[in-house]
Chains A and B, each alone.
Chain A
């Protein structure tokens, strides 16, 4: 069976989204690249401290009981429920114009997981917003 939407999907794929500006790449670069000065310091001092650090680490880990590592959570899901919209009767505002109150309710749920300990963190947030939509009167 042929897909009737195939031609349209191919046309959509032919559209070229605008690329992010160079400023975004620069901002990402600043966050991902290790600082050059710090890298130089690390290289200069690492040889001298390597032996001392190894001895210290051996002392610490052999002398003290090893505590379990803290859990490291990774985001696994971020969900938003379908919003529930309530429209109310139009109201007259103080300036004589009219507006319709609208109430929107939805829930946001984000979930993190630590694969090692099989533990989860779930952040559930119900949202309830009331706003006024201006109405034009003729």
Chain B
């Protein structure tokens, strides 16, 4: 991955990283459209103001995404009526490119079935390239808790894809 500290052209950096950043944004939003809005706001803030800051640019951009997602949730909460249950398109939209390998296809579907707290750890580790320490910082949990959620997620994914590929 190109280093965001020294990158001059945002288009090249975004072309390389946009897909995984959008997947991260999707973990904290209720719809694909919300994920797009969050990604836009967070990326612009990161590129204009934060990419030259010291530290891991991955962690900085993930922090920016989380901040935008929380802001959007607050605005949405104010709009939504108290009793209304907000719809989610999680079951109808695919997050990954189609895979010919049935095991990978099963894995992509199984990821959505994980509890949100486990899924966000998986996404931050695999597509955010964050360590358990950095994931703990992002989610306000201990690194041990992050690692524990990762292990539970791996067990669940292994069970699920085994069951699906034997159906």
* A21, B40: Cα distance in complex, Å: 11
With A8-B157, A129-B82 known as contacts, the answer to whether A18 contacts B36 (CB < 8 A) is no
Q: Name the residue on A nearest B154 (C-beta).
A: A5
Choose from B22, B74, B85, B158 the contact partner of A17 (Cβ within 8 Å). Answer: B22
Q: How many residues of A contact B (CB 8 A)?
A: 40
Q: B83 contacts A17, CB within 8 Å?
A: no
Say yes or no: is A60 at the interface (Cβ < 8 Å to chain B).
no
CB proximity to A under 8 Å, residues B113-167: 122, 125-127, 137, 139-141, 150-151, 154, 157-158
Name the prevailing secondary structure of the A interface residues. mixed
CB distance from B52 to the nearest CB of A (A): 11
**A23 contacts across to B, CB distance below 8 A:** 36
Q: A32 contacts B83, CB within 8 Å?
A: no
Q: Can you offer 22 A-B residue contacts whose CB atoms are under 8 A?
A: A8-B107, A8-B154, A8-B158, A9-B125, A16-B96, A18-B22, A18-B96, A19-B22, A20-B36, A21-B36, A23-B36, A24-B39, A27-B40, A31-B40, A75-B45, A75-B67, A76-B63, A77-B137, A78-B70, A80-B139, A130-B82, A131-B84
**B10 contacts across to A, CB distance below 8 A:** 28, 32
* A42, B127: Cα distance in complex, Å: 42
With A32-B10, A78-B66 known as contacts, the answer to whether A15 contacts B96 (CB < 8 A) is yes
With A11-B104, A12-B122 known as contacts, the answer to whether A129 contacts B77 (CB < 8 A) is yes
Q: How many residues of B contact A (CB 8 A)?
A: 53
CB proximity to A under 8 Å, residues B58-83: 63-64, 66-67, 70, 74, 77, 82-83
**A110 contacts across to B, CB distance below 8 A:** 67, 70
Extra contacts, 4 of them, besides A12-B122, A80-B139, A133-B85 (Cβ < 8 A), are A15-B108, A18-B97, A20-B39, A78-B63
A-B pairs, top 9 by smallest CB distance, nearest first, are A78-B67, A17-B23, A79-B140, A19-B19, A17-B19, A5-B154, A16-B97, A15-B96, A31-B44
Name the prevailing secondary structure of the B interface residues. helix
Q: B70 contacts A17, CB within 8 Å?
A: no
* A27, B151: Cα distance in complex, Å: 38
Q: A19 contacts B18, CB within 8 Å?
A: yes
Return the CB mask of A29-62 against B: 1 if under 8 Å, else 0.
1011000000000000000000000000000000
Return the CB mask of A113-138 against B: 1 if under 8 Å, else 0.
00000000000010101111100000
* A14, B145: Cα distance in complex, Å: 26
With A20-B22, A24-B40 known as contacts, the answer to whether A5 contacts B151 (CB < 8 A) is yes
Say yes or no: is A94 at the interface (Cβ < 8 Å to chain B).
no
Say yes or no: is A86 at the interface (Cβ < 8 Å to chain B).
no
* A19, B14: Cα distance in complex, Å: 10
With A15-B104, A19-B18, A20-B36 known as contacts, the answer to whether A28 contacts B96 (CB < 8 A) is no
